[in-house]
Structure 1
Amino acid sequence: MPTNRILFIPGKNPKPPTDEYRRQLLRCLLRGIERADPAVAPEIGGDTGAFMLIAWNPLYYQSYRPLDVDLPWVDALLKRTGPTKEDVQEALSFRRRTAWVLYTAADLFHFLIPLLPDPVVKNTIQETARYFRNEDGIGGQVRELLKAPLRQMFTDGERILMISHSMGSVVAYDALWELTHIEKNPGRVDLLTLGSPLGMRFTQKRLLGVHERGTQHYPHNIRHWINMTAQGDLTALDPTVRDDFKPMLELGLVDSITDVNGGIFNYFRDDEGLNVHRSYGYLANPRVGEVIANWWKEGA
């Protein structure tokens, strides 16, 4: 029986020191699983090697975020059982819908990006540009942090679920493309993307393989791909990937691609208010927990 392994690839921005950050992510993941399937959570929690963090952020940013900035809010999140009425209203607010229209236009017409009102979105584009340009080889170095453990897991015949959040889904996709076409590695994974920008034209035009045709355009090493987006998450501006990556299905490169983007509420709050994009909130969500629990049981 293959060993189950869960790899988490975080999104952008500095993160807490690696061991501390992994501990908080695992707390959230186990909480989401516990709410979906209480029998599975202790199995994963009791396996010290089950959950691995791909900590690319310290290399990319050369800095850490203090854990004590996040910890009280993570504790508060884990005490909750769901979104409040106010959380739901804010996630579905007219302000967010209006912003979605503006950002969709900017995704289609990139010259509009400097005019976007949200500095967070503009900063995201500026920060990711360094990765996409592979300045000083940083993109390749980041991907190697993921590919190194993947190679060993493939060699060992382990069963792998890659959970990638936000910019981490771009790193994951590019790493899988390189393993397919540069390294010719036959290993395969299951992929769960959370709050991913892979549905955006801006991102798609910068992925590895973008200038290739046919089967060379895509990675071949994804079995099942589930893409989940919380209500109001503007980082996942286009919350669907199946339409964009449908040729992978038609070419027989992937067994399934499933978008889940309705009725998922990320109710993480901090001192700045509701943040529907934070990875802690995604992992603690029972809808996400259900996907992970089902995957785990399939290999048990």
Structure 2
Amino acid sequence: MSHIIIGIHGLANKPPKEQHEPDWVTAIQEGLARNCLLPDARVHFDLIFWAHLKYNPLLTTDPEPYLPTPVNQPIAKYRDGWLSMARAYVSDIPGDMITKAREWLGVSSLTDLVLSKKLTDLGAYYREPDYRKTLRDLLKKVITDNQSKRITLIAHSMGSIIAYDALRELGRDNVTMRVDNFITIGSPLGIPTVAAAIHKEWNTLRTPSIVRRWLNFADPRDPVAIDTHLRNDYDANDQGVEVEDDVILNNYVNVQGQPNYHKIYGYLRCPEMSEMLRGIL
């Protein structure tokens, strides 16, 4: 059985798909070449592109384009030792603060406050049913059309919310569906306001029923993935599939020399991602 990797991007405006999609593939291939010594890896990939539904015009120039890791610089693997645990503990503090604020303001009030003012795309996703349906349907169609293949779904940032909801819908409507690997990266699924919105719709927080494996990669310095361990929030599905959390180092640095710990390219080429993909290609 052949394999396909499906990606879905996250928040904010993007360059057109014909520019953005190859950059995803190049970052994946860089990781496979550097981390797994697979310089000629062939990647069958399809990007679910939705920025054009929110932004007009799209970006003509990416302010943070794909940039390869310097050849003399290793792509470091995160060692989950005491420093990781300390950072994970600290990263949970903002979540606790948000929870307390949610209890004080009420779920709907804080959701509107945070999502509308801070995350425009995400606010629209929850406010506009037609927009929400369109985004989910884009992904559902590609998954449905590729059921003859083994599917790995990589969802970044807000894309992980769209993907989660689409997978729950697919599992509700067709129990024979299957997604072999669901990989969330830089995901806000652990933010209490987001989890509350998901729980409001689905009544439970769990692995989607059609998912056979769920991996969550998060850099503790990523402000979107402030909850690096989703397993504490999402239960197993009926097949016993639980979230597998892995802390990584996002090494992306932009042209000005500034790091962006949320950037997609650093996630796609990290050793933990490369090792996972090596096992399925």
Task: Kindly provide the CA deviation profile for residues 202-246 of structure 1, in whole angstroms up to 9, marking residues without a partner as x.
Answer: 1111127744369xx762110011101013112011111112122
After superposition, residues 130-145 of structure 1 pair within 5 angstroms as 130-133=124-127, 135=128, 137-145=130-138
Return closer, same or farther for 1:213/1:30 CA change in 2, 3 Å cut-off: closer
* Mapping of residues 113-262 of structure 1, within 5 Å: 123-133=117-127, 135=128, 137-154=130-147, 157-207=148-198, 210-212=201-203, 219-248=208-237, 251-252=238-239, 254=241, 256-261=242-247
Q: 1:108–1:176: structure 2 CA closer, same or farther, 3 Å change rule?
A: farther
Aligned mate of 1:276, from 261, 267, 273: 261
Distance change (3 Å), C-alpha of 1:97 and 1:207: closer
**AA at the equivalent of 1:257:** V
Change (3 A) 1:291 1:78: farther
3-state SS of 2:143 partner: helix
Preserved CA contact (<8 Å) 2:115 2:123:
no
Gaps of 5+ in 2: 77-82, 108-113
Relative to total residues, which structure has the larger helix share, 1 or 2?
1
Change (3 A) 1:180 1:78: farther
Closer/same/farther in 2, CA of residues 143 and 54 from structure 1, 3 Å limit: same
CA deviation digits over 1:80-117, x for unaligned, max 9?
Answer: 63479xxxxxx99x9x997863454124423499xxxx
SS at match of 1:197: coil
Q: Structure 1 126/18 Cα, relative in aligned 2: closer, same or farther at 3 Å?
A: closer
The question of whether the paired residues in 2 share the 8 Å contact of 1:197 and 1:237 is answered with yes
CA separation in 2, counterparts of 1:100 and 1:123?
A: 22
Distance 1:288 1:247, change over 3 A: closer
Instruction: Report 1:80-119 matches (<5 A).
Output: 81-82=73-74, 101-102=93-94, 104-110=96-102, 111=105
Shift of 1:25: 1.3
**CA deviation profile, 1:5-53 (whole Å, cap 9, x unmatched):** 00111111111110111111111111111122123x52325xxxx0111
Given that residues 35 and 75 in structure 2 are in contact (C-alpha distance below 8 angstroms), is that contact kept between their aligned partners in structure 1?
no
C-alpha displacement at 1:121, in angstroms?
8.6
Match of 1:267 among 203, 228, 251: 251
Whole-angstrom distance in 2 between the partners of 1:290 and 1:83: 13
Question: Partners of 1:167 and 1:146 in 2: how far apart?
Answer: 13
- TM-score, normalised by the number of residues in structure 2: 0.82
SS in 1 for 2:40: helix
* CA positional deviation for 1:77: 3.6
Equivalent in 69, 80, 84 of residue 63 of structure 2: 69
Instruction: Name the counterpart of 2:16.
Output: 17
1:30 lines up with 2:29 in the alignment:
yes
Distance 1:218 1:226, change over 3 A: closer
Q: TM-score, normalised by structure 1?
A: 0.77
The percentage of aligned residue pairs carrying the same residue is 25
Residue from 52, 59, 65 that aligns with 1:58: 52
Give 3-state SS (helix, strand or coil) of 2:119's partner.
Answer: helix
1:252 partner amino acid: Q
1-side partners of 2:91 and 2:202: how far apart? 31
Measured in 2, the distance between the counterparts of 1:209 and 1:4 equals 34
Residues 4 and 209 (structure 1 numbering): CA distance in 2 closer, same or farther, change over 3 Å? farther
Native 8 Å contact 1:6 1:52 kept in 2: yes
Aligned residues: 266
